[in-house]
Structure formats: structure tokens, C-alpha cells
């Protein structure tokens, strides 16, 4: 006889995603039909989508082995189905709960890294990081040296913004296929971050449209420069199924303070990334696992500038576009 364990944890019941009737299960090693998984894989027909025909055998083997390995019961499977359904019901134009679920499981960061590794043409390229849900197209095109911060003394985070005011500059460089990086003129640095209250402007009625967002074009030396704020930690939305799962896993929802970028230049792959402030208490505990060592930055005190208390120099190295058809091929793989 195997050890008997309770099936329904009280915290699981708190999920509200389904009910379980069985009281216990066994950790015995049962015998299963060894041909069952092959039978399911073999059901795929000769006209199947090529990419699916390639990847589904592996997915099915992992999925079936997982279920057998941890003795998934019908009640647990039903709860999981309800959980996924709840994620879908909560998703709309403003919120993507299923993507959030992938984020807290580390899947989006992993897929981002896999994609970047496949496309990389040199080891000098700046690492990518996930886009996140708060990007907006068509941020204001601003001259170098201008600010993306609109401040009013009436804002509750006014004093914090003054204390965190920062000057950010650097170069956009070409990896030039592994040689010495060379400056890229007319590259676009698209930047955005949250306010000291942890909210992006579209989440916050107290901020003006497009606050803390801007696009900057590099000069002849590949340089960009702007005023922004040192970033503030914020929690991911945790009032849905993903948040309940975090709670069941005894995890917090916080992301370390970060600044988002999309950096693009002719003939190069666009870089979507984030930089992370080393002072942040969550720097080693990002709830979506996006932090990479090369993306952690140290802001330095800035002297003699009434507009900024801090400064940071950060360069972005872009990889060459190896194959113009890469992104089209990616899209073609989607059903
Ligand atoms: Fe963010």
C-alpha cells in the first residue's frame, strides 16, 4: 500500500474553480497501458499542419507522463480545466489573464529566450526581456535631451518623482555580426515605465495621456538621451486566477522596478528588453522571471543638473537581421 495523502487542500478549495469528491489517493506505482500515448500520437493524420506534426508528439509525451507521474485525478483535472476557462473569461482587450498565467510560470520569459537564441547572430547582443502588457504604439517622438515625465505638485507621488528624477543616455550599437560594435544613427529608442505609484498611465486617471513614454532617434554617434524616473516596483494584477495560483504557491506578485524599451534600427532585429534597478528589493524575486544579469543597472548620483538627481549610461547592442523572412515564417507557423 502506498502512503495516503489528502487530495483536497483547503487552499485549493479556495480557488473556487471546481470541486473534488475523492478524499484520498495512493502513491502506488500503477501499471498503465504502455501503448496508450503512442496511440494518441499516431492519431495525427498525414495532412496535419507541419509544425504541429513536429511538436505534438513531444507535447503529448510530456503531458501524459506528467499526469501519470503525479497521479492526476479526474477531480484535479476538472479543476485545472475550470481554471484555464476562468483565465479565458477574464481576458479581454485590457487584460490577458492567460498570458499572465504564462508569465508567473516563467513560460513567456523562457520562450523569449529561446526565440532570441535562435535569431542571435553574435554573443555581444543585449539580452531581450518580455514586452509586458502595457506597451502602447505611437508614443510621442521627442528630441534627445527632453523629458518623458509630466509632473504636478498635486500628485501624491510628486516628492518621490523629484527624488527619483534621472538622466538616461547611451548609444545604440550594431553587433556587426560579432565584430566591434559600431554606432547606429537614426535608431529608435522607444521607452516606457510606470509612475512611482506603480501604475502605467493607461491604468491611472491622474496621469496625462502618454505620460512616462517617448521615442528618441539616435544622433550621428548613435547616442540617445532623455529624462525619466528611477523605476518603482509594482505588483502584477493578482485579483484573478493567476493571482490565486500565486497565493496557493505562497508567492508574491511583485516585479522589481524596471524600464521597458523597444530599440530598432534599419537592417537589425528589433530588441525588446527591460533594465532593472539594482537597488530594488525584488531584484532577485521577479514574479515573472524576466531579470537577467546584464540588464541590472546602477544609477549614479548626478551633480549640477536641476532636472535630475540620478544618471545612468546604458548601451543597446542590436543583432543583424539574418533573414528578412524570419518573422513571416514565425507567423506562418501559427494556425
Ligand atoms: Fe512593466
Q: What are phi and psi of 87, to 5 degrees?
A: -60, -45
| Strand locations in 65-212 (E) | 146-147, 165-174, 182-183, 188-192
Q: pTM here?
A: 0.83
Map out the domains of the chain with their CATH numbers. 4-102 (no CATH), 120-331 (2.60.130.10)
Q: What spacing in Å lies between the alpha carbon of 81 and ligand 1's midpoint?
A: 29
Q: What spacing in Å lies between the alpha carbon of 290 and ligand 1's midpoint?
A: 10
CA 174 to chain centre: 24
Q: What spacing in Å lies between the alpha carbon of 149 and ligand 1's midpoint?
A: 16
Q: What spacing in Å lies between the alpha carbon of 135 and ligand 1's midpoint?
A: 9
CA 70 – CA 80 distance, rounded (Å): 14
DSSP string, 94-118: S--HHHHHHHHTTHHHHHHHHHHHH
Q: What spacing in Å lies between the alpha carbon of 158 and ligand 1's midpoint?
A: 20
Q: What are phi and psi of 227, to 5 degrees?
A: -105, 135
Q: What spacing in Å lies between the alpha carbon of 201 and ligand 1's midpoint?
A: 12
Q: What spacing in Å lies between the alpha carbon of 278 and ligand 1's midpoint?
A: 16
Q: What spacing in Å lies between the alpha carbon of 103 and ligand 1's midpoint?
A: 12
Q: What spacing in Å lies between the alpha carbon of 232 and ligand 1's midpoint?
A: 10
Residue 107 makes CB contacts below 8 A (sequence gap 6+) with: none
| Strand locations in 164-288 (E) | 165-174, 182-183, 188-192, 213-217, 223-229, 234-235, 254-255, 258-264, 271-277
The closest alpha carbon to 257, from 160, 174, 185, 180, belongs to 160
CB atoms within 10 A of CB 174: 23
Residue 207 · residue 150 · CB < 8 Å: yes
Tens place of pLDDT for every residue, the chain, 335 residues? 334 444 444 445 545 444 444 445 555 667 888 899 999 999 999 999 999 999 999 999 999 999 999 999 999 999 999 999 999 999 988 789 999 999 999 999 999 999 998 888 788 899 999 998 899 999 999 999 999 999 999 999 999 999 999 999 999 999 986 678 899 999 999 999 999 999 999 988 999 999 999 999 999 999 999 999 999 999 999 999 999 999 999 999 999 999 999 999 999 999 999 999 999 999 999 999 999 999 999 999 999 999 999 999 999 999 998 764 444 443 333 33
- Paired with 168 in beta bridges are 226, 312
Q: What spacing in Å lies between the alpha carbon of 213 and ligand 1's midpoint?
A: 12
Cα torsion angle, 228, 234, 239, 243, sign: positive
The three cell numbers of residue 45 are 493524420
Specify burial of residue 320 (Cβ count, 10 A radius: 0-12, 13-18, 19+): middle
**What 8-state DSSP symbol labels residue 137?**
S
Q: What spacing in Å lies between the alpha carbon of 134 and ligand 1's midpoint?
A: 7
Q: What spacing in Å lies between the alpha carbon of 128 and ligand 1's midpoint?
A: 14
Q: What spacing in Å lies between the alpha carbon of 130 and ligand 1's midpoint?
A: 9
Q: What spacing in Å lies between the alpha carbon of 194 and ligand 1's midpoint?
A: 7
Amino acid at each position: 500500500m502506498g502512503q495516503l495523502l489528502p487530495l483536497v487542500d483547503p487552499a485549493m478549495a479556495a480557488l473556487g474553480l471546481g470541486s473534488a469528491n475523492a478524499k484520498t489517493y495512493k502513491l502506488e506505482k500503477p501499471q498503465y497501458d504502455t501503448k496508450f500515448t503512442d496511440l494518441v500520437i499516431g492519431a495525427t493524420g498525414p495532412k496535419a499542419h507541419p509544425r504541429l506534426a513536429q511538436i505534438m508528439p513531444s507535447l503529448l509525451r510530456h503531458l501524459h507522463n506528467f499526469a501519470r507521474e503525479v497521479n492526476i485525478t479526474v477531480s484535479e483535472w476538472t479543476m485545472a480545466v475550470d481554471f484555464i476557462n476562468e483565465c479565458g473569461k477574464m481576458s479581454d482587450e485590457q487584460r490577458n489573464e492567460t498570458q499572465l498565467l504564462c508569465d508567473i510560470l516563467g513560460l513567456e520569459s523562457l520562450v523569449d529566450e529561446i526565440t532570441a537564441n535562435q535569431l542571435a547572430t553574435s554573443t555581444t547582443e543585449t539580452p531581450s526581456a518580455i514586452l509586458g502588457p502595457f506597451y502602447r504604439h505611437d508614443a510621442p517622438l521627442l528630441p534627445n535631451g527632453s523629458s518623458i515625465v509630466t509632473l504636478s505638485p498635486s500628485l501624491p507621488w510628486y516628492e518621490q518623482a523629484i527624488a527619483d528624477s534621472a538622466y538616461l543616455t547611451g548609444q545604440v550599437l550594431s553587433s556587426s555580426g560579432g565584430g566591434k560594435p559600431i554606432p547606429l544613427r537614426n535608431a529608435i529608442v522607444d521607452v516606457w515605465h510606470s509612475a512611482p505609484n506603480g501604475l502605467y498611465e493607461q491604468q491611472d486617471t491622474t496621469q496625462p495621456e502618454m505620460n512616462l513614454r517617448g521615442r528618441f532617434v539616435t544622433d550621428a554617434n548613435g547616442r540617445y538621451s532623455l529624462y525619466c524616473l528611477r523605476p518603482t516596483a509594482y505588483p502584477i494584477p493578482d485579483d484573478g486566477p493567476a493571482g490565486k495560483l500565486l497565493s496557493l504557491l505562497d508567492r508574491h506578485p511583485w516585479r522589481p522596478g524596471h524600464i521597458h524599451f523597444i530599440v530598432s534600427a534599419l537592417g537589425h532585429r528589433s530588441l525588446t528588453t527591460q533594465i532593472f534597478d539594482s537597488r530594488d528589493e525584488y531584484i532577485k524575486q521577479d514574479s515573472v522571471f524576466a531579470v537577467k544579469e546584464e540588464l541590472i543597472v546602477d544609477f549614479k548620483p548626478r551633480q549640477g543638473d536641476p532636472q535630475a538627481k540620478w544618471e545612468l549610461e546604458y548601451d543597446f547592442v542590436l543583432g543583424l537581421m539574418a533573414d528578412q523572412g524570419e518573422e513571416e515564417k514565425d507567423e506562418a507557423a501559427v494556425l
